[in-house]
Structure 1
Amino acid sequence: MVAKKFQNPSGGLNQAGRDHFKKTEGSNLKSPVKTGTNPRRVSFAARFGGMAGPERDSKGEPTRLLLALRAWGFRSKDSARNFANKHKKT
């Protein structure tokens, strides 16, 4: 679980979270690609479109999964899955 101070309230990590991850893990995370058919976006859609878990919690609020999907420009797991299937390389 990522500390709240590193989470973007609208989904994903904020810049401080990406910097912290680089410092602790040595990886260079990039910010979300919100539009287009960039291979990173297609890959994200394929991974997150198939993730288990609800899109909304018991109170009807969006989960971190749905917030991450929205940060990448998707409305739901179904829309991400459809996008990935349409744009994946064969």
Structure 2
Amino acid sequence: MEGCIFTGEKVMAKPAKGKAKVKKTASGKKVSYGQAGKAKDGGPRVRPGTSKGDSYCARSLGIKKRLPKKKQNDPNTPNNLSRKRWKCKGAKSMKK
């Protein structure tokens, strides 16, 4: 199977190039999202509750506002999946 990762008996979907994660929706569609790799200091790229997180949340809120209402509330859009990972509440990134 091309584009899959085998872990024991379970077959996991492989994210698209340059993407960190993949989610399989209820309809069976695979959605790749998030930036792959590590930060310069070797830590994770996603750090909720930081100024970098606040900047990301503000940018992604602008993207979200330009979408149709149906897509704004769809939890399976790449933007909404990434906002969840950054723990965005409006234009701010929350620590917990």
TM-score of the aligned structures, taking structure 2 as reference length: 0.47
**Greater share of strand:** 2
**Greater share of helix:** 1
Please say which structure displays the higher CA radius of gyration. Answer: 2
